[in-house]
Structure 1
């Protein structure tokens, strides 16, 4: 079977490699096990295997927008997900399953105006004017999730981030039940300025800020 760097294969690709089997049945089983996802690519049915996705990161996926009035000012939010010390290596093994989950998330999203682009170490999900970026750290020890959108869509950005987090937590619960995942929130100001190393707020600092500022303080801001 010819290697495809996107990790997407047709039923015929598999059938030619294994003519003695009904590969459609096999692919449906693999889909049910969340090892791949059935996709419609311009009318042709394909199966996406993120574990075989070797596409490199494209430049410009999260570039700063043009300054106003050429483009609206954006609000930003984000966080890093980490597992406890000694279990960091698990994040890399979770990631292919996470990308399968994101494909299902995109297919089931209530809006039709959605787009999901995936590569070997990341995924970008867009819906309407909102964008989100999920990346695996270079060492494969943590995930970084960022969202952004026009300032008048701050609430929608918050709910998009929560929806994505729920999708990720479902994978953690399925693959490693009981494993605690820490949420380290990223400074919205650092994200808006596109700093290479954004300021990170550990969970205990966030709890202190919420006690000080009240429950209506937000981690999605300009």
Structure 2
């Protein structure tokens, strides 16, 4: 059965237009829904979750683009690596886990992969964490400009330096494929660094 992508995107646009009513005009919402689909389709065209992922990506981008509201000053961080498949995904999952909503967490890649690393998923599962809902996505200007901290876990040469965010470079080796012991070592180093960063972000 073929999927009617135009109809799905139109439905997503209607839903998000209502959701962001008073924040973004309808044409802005439509642009980000379409652009998010195109950006993800380049690598995740075979992923059956593509319509769902498009909506999630568009929501993240539209939220980042919205003016900061009132007293909500939740700190935010963007984890970046080349493929947004291993290091940045592990960092994002660990930050989500430890922060428990106290930090807004994003991840992205300079050259997004089609799928998230199975090895990264395996070593996180040992900690009781999952990457089942994770997906690789490109770095976007509105998220990059809207976060407090940008953590470069790999592929830093392709990351533009914008005024505003604080940039950190974590000298992490590329996870060594199917060598789970090596991937565990990278996970453990990321774990330590994530907890230290969380302490910085949540200490007032």
TM-score when normalising by structure 1:
0.28
Bigger CA radius of gyration: 1
Structure richer in strand, relative to its length:
1
